[in-house]
Structure 1
Amino acid sequence: MAKIMSYGQMQSEWSRRKNKLGFVERLVKKPAVTEGEEESPEVVMWRQCNVMIKAWLRNVIEPRLHPSIIFSGTVVEIWKELKECYSTGNPPRVHQLKNELNERKQGKDQSIIEYYTRLKAIRDELINYSHVPQCTYGAATTLINEREEEKVHQFLMGLDTSLYGHIRTNLLIEDDITSLSRAYALVLREE
């Protein structure tokens, strides 16, 4: 359960994360305003952060969606609205992406950079549909390592065998092939 922060904790969080994530996660709540009193520094700081983050959100979302959030008062309201409307799964797209991954091969005229970049773009989009639960026992590390190794295998399977078969064999012989970046760098160097 999220805890509500005091002003001192807010200042600490402000210097650590600039309060961006705290606003979205409802960790930074608007300080209470007493009627008839001048606004406190906490209220001014909260309002400035809220306006700044709202502007960032407006700048990164599709312009067609602006009317749906333009009158939202807080970042939390915007985030809640966007999450409810657009965070649904998309099984057909996931299937399409996984199919693209399975069929992705390096073309004869395609450089390693082009091949890797397209493969990475597909994987990055696929990650958006993935939901890895919070883990307190370290199992997530194992899962992350397995996914990284899967990425390496996917990359190696799609390489042009006539050009890179030998380096693929050398990488597969290694005991620890859990770094896609390392595999990519070795193949790129070979190119």
Structure 2
Amino acid sequence: MTKIGGEIGSDRGKGSGHDTMPIPLSSPLFLYPSDSPSLKLTHTLFNGDNYELWAEAVKNGLDAKKKLGFVDGTVKKPEGSEVDNYELVAWRQCNAMIKAWLRNVIDEKLHPSIAFTASVAEIWKELKERYAAGNAPRVHQLKSDLT
């Protein structure tokens, strides 16, 4: 990490290995050295039946890490190419990290349904549409069909 202009930032560069630009600690694009793909945001494992409880636990964990904006869509993917946009590189890294964190708290049988989704916001939207209580009529219909 380097201290530049009074702010501590990471040594993430433009993707080409040239000049580096700081990502402020307060930015949702900042990843701490302790952030790793093996991190578990919650002990609640999503199994397809406990969406509401799981979603709240995950949102709490992401909020604590200043990453909630990735799932609610407020942290948008920057435009441009990685060669000249260090924020795009940082966004991609954060998006990949959060995808790993989500996989760690989702039952492995559900992994194929999110494996090829490009962004965390898309994963979150898809899971919510499929499993949230707002789908109560569909859930009731499926349960009725099962009985």
TM-score normalized with structure 1 length:
0.37
TM-score normalized with structure 2 length:
0.48
> Which structure has the higher relative contact order (CA within 8 Å, separation 6+)?
2
**Higher alpha-carbon Rg:** 1
Larger helix fraction of residues: 1
